Amino acid sequence: MKNTDVLPAAVLRRKAVVYVRQSTQTQVQNNLESQRRQYELVEEARRRGFVHIEVIDDDLGRSASGMVARPGFDRLVAWLCAGEVGAVLCFDASRLARNGRDWHHLLELCGLVEARVIDLDGVYDPCRPNDRLLLGMKGSISEFELGVLRARMFEAARAKAQRGELRISVPIGYVWHREIGLGFDPDLRLQEVIRLIFARFRKLGSARQVMISLTAQCH
């Protein structure tokens, strides 16, 4: 539908849901402008005529790839199934989903209850073939972008590995040394604990038995 079209009264009587999401904790801590712009969609919902507006930001720091649980997205789906939602507002398609399964499931539910999808580009009615086609393309582009990002990250990591410069996260108690590579943390207490764990494992032969033994020792 056009940006200037007035939303039906039946839609406005339901609630508008503003879905706020960022993929990583680093983005949550550092990319505050993106958060601010997403929260500003509340004003956009009011401008469209909604009175009851809910913000879902449970999924801040969670990827939309479909590989991790998203309680906020699940709550949105539950509200849609209950017919409580008149519109879903998001910054762009990638905020809602980066995989086709979740995206098309959401569009199907919006179409069933005649809820609208609103982003920075306009208002979409999934019941209309043209709007549904455009939303489908947005979801496909979002999924494609995620694939490109993953491929670039993999190629960069492989190039670093070939040069011997790849550094991965190491467990607590270990650090990367510039001269010798992986080694113990300088903290002597950590070194002692690590040596105790490995000594106990050699004796008991099971990580579970090590945990039980150390727990009993602490108590």
Amino acid type, 156: A
Alpha-carbon distance of 215 to 169, in angstroms, equals: 27
How far out from the chain centre does Cα 93 lie? Answer: 12
In the set 23, 63, 142, 213, the catalytic residue is 23
Contacts 24+ apart (CB under 8 A), 42-49: 42/18, 44/89, 44/118, 45/16, 45/18, 45/87, 45/89, 45/118, 48/7, 48/12, 48/16, 48/87, 48/118, 48/123, 49/6, 49/7, 49/12
Q: Verify whether residue 23 is a known catalytic residue.
A: yes
Alpha-carbon distance of 185 to 145, in angstroms, equals: 39
Residues tagged active-site:
23
